[in-house]
Amino acid sequence: MNRLSILVASVLGSLFVGCTHKPQELSIVPIPNHIEQARGSLLLDSTVRLQIHCPEQDHDILSNYIAATPLGDVIGETSTPDEKAKHLTLKLVDELAEVESSEGYHLTVDRKGITITATTSNGLFYGLQTLLQLYADSKHIPHTTIIDEPRFAYRGMMIDVSRHFFDVDFIKKQIDAMAYFKINHLHLHLTDAAGWRIEIKRYPRLTGKAAWRGQATWKEWWNGDRQYVEEGSEGAYGGYYTQDEIRELVAYAQERFITIIPEIEMPSHSEEVLAVYPELSCSHIPYKESDFCVGNEQTFEFLEGVLTEVMELFPSEYIHIGGDEASKQSWKTCARCQARMQSEGLADVDELQSYLIHRIETFLNAHGRQLLGWDEILDGGLAPRATVMSWRGTEGGLRAITAGHRAIMTPGEYCYLDAYQDAPHTQPEAIGGYLPLNKVYGYDPLPDTLATAQRELLYGVQGNLFAEYIPTEQHMEYMMYPRLLAIAEVGWSRPENKDYDHFRNRTMKILSDLQQADYNTFDLSHEVGNRPGADRPLEHLAVGKKVEYVDGSAYFGGYTAGGDSALVDGVRGGWTYGDRRWQGFLGRKGVDVVIDLERTTYLHSINADFMQICGPGVFMPAEIIISTSTDGNDYTELYRTENEVIRDDSVSFRTFGWEGETQARYIRYQAVRSHHGGFLFLDEVVVR
């Protein structure tokens, strides 16, 4: 039995409209717009014959696909009409009531058979996915009418194959699941410092060396020499897709109505390119820079040569060019870059990056393609027809929409599936953060503030799975499922039809099907949940009191947790500083705050929690000092401790505080940064 045969072998979940009797519970993810059940059911067996009415090319795609599913085991195509026979009929029509999207469909099950109608073959395919999810072990399909269409045209998933390489069979396996949950775009992150993953015949060193390294994991390589090795070297780790393999993947995805979008990083994240073609960097020295030299015409010859071969392989409307996290430092002193800025009248290096983006867009447009990039492509001025993928929150996407451009929302807070999905100490290593299923599911990409005309420019939503800490196929799937299901429902279903409890119930049982189909999934049934105390307000003596940040100690503007009252607001932080509940300190002085309790009070304890995640530069304090005063002038030291801060790979939390007996009005809490530098994060100074 193939993966899909196992995957569709159950009926779960519920959403019903207009039912006149007790309905059978159904499992459909994403949940459709409208479901109505009537009495009775249809036995789906060999007496049901297949009829497909659509153009020949799509007829073959749909019939071949059905033959590979459980439906193919019990029904067969018929060429002669038989009024007495029951049919599974897939039929294209000119229009559908209550459906505007080309991907929408009607599905009807009654005593005569099953009919799926749509205005395009895409719609027929998605109606077929719903039927597959209705197909139970008993093969009895309840008499049902479903009217459905997606909320957003773009529903995507990004898989990073640069940091760790995943082969063709693994990508096909994920395409199968994406199609089943009506995801219609696969974004492949093909190039980055850790390895180049696509054959480019004009530039053989990209796969002869830049695709290989001496360490099996990204972390070992990143913390080591960050060198590349020749293909075939002893112990070489890496890989790439040949052009024939790319064609195979593209065809496989097309047969499941999925578009693959390639990403070729520029101008940064290009260490692997510049190691083997150093003449494209500002210094011409291997292993020195990560940014292409924008002042060098050879850079554009290279990029256009690469993109020409990429466009020959990928028929997608969009080509993703990255555009994120360029340091731009070498451009400030590079004679070629400075000459380019002068000749083009560019004010700064942001505008120099914009020059590159504009020029690449012109090249892509001339070949009938559109440019897609991360939201940094806004810096220095957005290219005229570019689409923005907004990852640093949603502000970049909204800026693009306001300027008349399409945007795809993929903010890290909701859509970066490389974060922990449960309590970090219970999970395999991740990049950090905390993104449980309910938070992904709760994301709404479409803010109420957008005008009606602007809403059309919000193209859709995407989940991203970067693989720095994901070295195996099993780990990749573990991070993807079930959160991919939440992305699917966010992208497809109307908000008024969404309910997390119902979704979780459907997901619990679907995970069992995925596991039987050999997908490695997170065990949602044993979810620990958020950090203890983060789910309810905390009462203590300092809540709501005034906090003074002593001269030289100020919280970082990106992690305010609400501002001056954050350390005494009664709100505990969760498993990540990204939840806006932890206040971050980056200054030399660290933490130095005075809390005014407004009157002299009996005190028994003063505590604060800190976190450590070394990867992004978050460390425990090296020293804690707690003092109190009755007048705000003379302080008595109650507690001082030194702490050895050791780098590790875990996410850890620790409470530093005093217990005893004293009276005071003012409390001074100081935390000194360690020699590692980085951030200090604390969530609350708890006084009892």
pLDDT one-digit tens code per residue, 503-544: 999 999 899 989 999 999 999 999 999 999 999 999 999 999
Find tokens 């050879």 and name the residue: 298
Structure confidence by residue, pLDDT tens digits, 186-197: 999 999 999 999
Catalytic-role residue among 87, 187, 269, 405: 269
β-pairing verdict for 237-238 and 212-213: antiparallel
3: helix, coil or strand? helix
CATH of domain 546-687: 2.60.120.260
Query: Closest Cα to residue 200, out of 88, 128, 276?
Result: 276
CATH of domain 154-526: 3.20.20.80
pLDDT of residue 9: 37
Q: Which residues contact 685 (CB under 8 A, 6 or more apart)?
A: 542, 567, 568, 593, 595, 606, 607, 608, 667, 669
Tokens read off for 51: 């009829």
How confident is the model over 248-270, as a mean pLDDT? 98
Is 421 in contact with 522 (CB distance < 8 Å)?
yes
pLDDT of residue 12: 33
Residue 14 scores a pLDDT above 50: no
* Tally of CB atoms within 10 A around 511: 19
pTM of this prediction? 0.94
Identify the CATH assignment for 3-148 out of 1.10.10.10, 3.20.20.140, 3.40.50.300, 3.30.379.10. Answer: 3.30.379.10
Structure confidence by residue, pLDDT tens digits, 570-599: 999 999 999 999 999 999 899 999 999 999
How confident is the model over 70-85, as a mean pLDDT? 74
Catalytic-role residue among 192, 272, 375, 489: 192
How confident is the model over 235-245, as a mean pLDDT? 98
pLDDT of residue 3: 54
Instruction: Check if 192 is active-site.
Output: yes
Q: Strand (E) positions, 76-202?
A: 76-77, 86-92, 105-110, 113-118, 140-148, 154-160, 185-189, 191-192, 195-196
Q: How confident is the model at residue 414 (pLDDT cuts 50, 70, 90)?
A: very high
How confident is the model over 265-278, as a mean pLDDT? 98
β-pairing verdict for 154-160 and 185-189: parallel
Lowest mean pLDDT among 24-33, 228-237, 369-378, 636-645: 24-33
Domain extent listing, the chain: 3-148, 154-526, 546-687
How confident is the model over 333-350, as a mean pLDDT? 98
Tokens read off for 315: 């028929």
Is 657 in contact with 608 (CB distance < 8 Å)?
yes
Catalytic-role residue among 98, 244, 325, 649: 325
Continuous segment of H or E residues that includes residue 612: strand 591-613
pLDDT of residue 84: 73
